[in-house]
Structure 1
Amino acid sequence: MIEPGGSAARVRGTTVVLVALAILAFAGNSLLARAALGTGQIGWGSFTAIRLAAGAAILLPWLLRGPRERPSGRGALALLVYCGAFSFAYVRLNAATGAMVLFAAVQATILVAGALSGNRVRAIDLAGVAMAMTGVVVLIGGRAEAGPVLAMLGMVVAGIAWGLYSVLGRSAADPARRTAGNFLVAALVAAPLPLLDAGPAPAFGGVALAIASGAFASGLGYVAWYRVVPRLPHATVGAAQLATPVVAALAAAVLLGEPLTVRLAVAAALILGGIAATLRRA
């Protein structure tokens, strides 16, 4: 006979595993993109196209099962812009910096979208966004040359697009199936993007990293996230958002040899503190 407590414990254990996998997947996208793009193994257009195609392929079973969940044209566009701007930014940005800027822009976008739809914006929300954006300015201050600043702006665009994609996804009856459809549409539109790459043909390593980013860190990571989000309280969802750039920064220091500088630490404190403030209940 199965004890009810044992069943609840298994559910909790599964939830913890899915949250951990989603955080690792989201952080992994930054690491995989930087490892491929920062070393010149692949251009940003090819990385984007391959990432979306691999995500569409791995998500195909979700797209085909049961009643169809029509892809959202706006959702597919937001996904395409996010992936393209994300790849463009990681040609110049390191993994830690990119993840910090991305999540600051995501949270600011979600708050603005909520305010425009009639949700009350609290003073602490505005203060949190201001604090997070101050952290982004601190990061930019150390990279005043044109290239990195342009890359920072690209990551801000990626964060805005991902924030909008998240907001649009709330209306889906089956978010995983909707995501699969959006990946398929975005992959078809992104197919010509490799023509924008100015360098040599992609190396095998760059292609492999793009496939890993699309199939595992994006496709399966998003499925894990969508399965677990309905089970979580708001504060836990927010904690996962906070954990992702921290995990990305620490993993980048270990795996990619990126420095953990004082400037990054100060910016991280401002950005994560600002995001945390917006996630607090009134």
Structure 2
Amino acid sequence: MRLFLLTLVTMIAFAANSVLNRMGLAQTGLDPVLFGTVRLMAGAVMLAVLSFALRGGLPLKGDGRAIGVIALSLYIFGFSLAYTALDAGIGALVLFGMVQVTMFAGALWLGDRVPGLRWAGAVVAFVGLVWLLWPGGGVVLPPLQAGMMVLAGIGWGIYSLNGRRAGDALQATAANFVLAVPIGMGLTLLSGVSSLNPLGIVLAILSGAVTSGLGYALWYSILPRLGATRAAVAQVTVPVLAIAGGMLFLGEVPSLSFLLSVGVVLTGVVLSSLAR
């Protein structure tokens, strides 16, 4: 039960990231690369302070650190660029659908044993994702932003797989954020800042410090107990939470086709969850 509750809190934090990013970009017009960089910086500060306070230091080296930093950067900036046009719920479904595909592929590559029922659930969930993304399927997605979210999903899937071998979850997450900040600053300088908004900065800080920094530290702490395939399945529940958040805070009204595709994805989630 404790693992279930911790996983639920983490999934809520992930969904909140979709809502906060969409609010920061669509409602305040903040530059997407700047949003991602501020998000990284806020997360790095929060996690570094906690790491020094609770662990007495912050070692930046570690097993798989380079992979973690690159994957985190791919996710953060693909995520921000995608939400310049995608609704919160649609973006979350594309993101975590790709996360599931990436983590299942990674689990097989790493030699994990996947039960047959979980395989069936993954296939059903993937069919729902294909239905959403298929041209003429009833949901019109901007190709560039959809592609950015696909890349973000691959990045987050690799980041999650890499997190299974992290030692101390807090220190590993803090080190990843701290080392990714120079990448963000470099991208910001190269792209330039097209728009700046104080409220957008506040939303980026909230997303970075709370729902990203603390949420990802919690995620790293429970990943070893979940395993790759169960972690992948759990994350596909995030779009439902993001849809609810988009309706409450952004006034987004999902189409019938989108809701049906979500239903197919969630059917796959249920099937996979039943596998022992």
Contact 1:135 1:270 in 2 (8 A): yes
Give the Cα separation in 1 of the matches to 2:71 and 2:30.
Answer: 23
**Per the alignment, do residues 50 and 92 of structure 1 end up closer, same or farther by CA in structure 2, a change over 3 Å counting?**
same
In structure 2, the residue matched to 1:31 is: 19
Superposition TM-score, scaled by structure 2 size: 0.85
Deviation of 1:152 after TM superposition, in Å, equals 1.5
Q: How does 1:201-212 map to 2 (within 5 A)?
A: 201-212=195-206
Q: Select between 223-232 and 56-65 the one with higher mean Cα deviation.
A: 223-232
Structure 1, residues 195-239: CA drift from partner, whole Å, max 9, x if none? 455774311111111111101110111233344556779998677
Partners of 1:128 and 1:274 within 8 A in 2? yes
Gaps of 5+ in 2: none
| Alpha-carbon distance, 1:242 to partner | 4.3
Call closer, same or farther: CA 1:21–1:123 in 2, change over 3 Å: closer
Higher radius of gyration, 1 or 2: 1
Which residue of 2 is the match for residue 249 of structure 1? 243
In structure 2, how many angstroms separate the alpha carbons of the residues matched to 1:202 and 1:277? 45
1:275 is aligned to 2:269:
yes
Contact 2:139 2:258 in 1 (8 A): no
Q: CA-atom RMSD, angstroms?
A: 2.8
Equivalent residues in 2 for 1:105-144, closer than 5 Å: 105-121=98-114, 123-140=116-133, 141-144=137-140
Structure-1-length-normalised TM-score = 0.83
- The superposition leaves residues 95-153 of structure 1 with CA deviations (integer Å, 9 ceiling, x where unpaired) of 000111111111111110111122345554554333323322332333456xx122122
Q: Percent identity, aligned pairs only?
A: 36
**Contact 2:102–2:154 under 8 Å retained in 1:** yes
Q: Which runs of 5+ in 1 are unaligned?
A: 1-11
Aligned residues between the structures: 268
Which one is further off, 132-141 or 205-214? 132-141
Query: Which of 157, 170, 173 is the matching residue for 2:167?
Result: 173
Partner residue of 1:56 out of 41, 44, 54: 44
- Using the alignment, how far apart are the partners of 2:122 and 2:20 within structure 1? 28
- Pick closer, same or farther for the CA change 1:127–1:237 going to 2, 3 Å: closer
For 2:8 and 2:110, the matched residues in 1 are separated by: 31
Matched residue SS, 2:219: helix
**Residue 46 (structure 1) aligned with residue 34 (structure 2):** yes
CA apart distance, 1:16: 6.6
Secondary structure in 2 matching 1:172: coil
**CA distance in structure 2 between the aligned counterparts of 1:250 and 1:127, rounded to whole angstroms:** 27
Structure 1 residues 168 and 228 mapped into 2: Cα distance closer, same or farther (>3 Å)?
Answer: closer
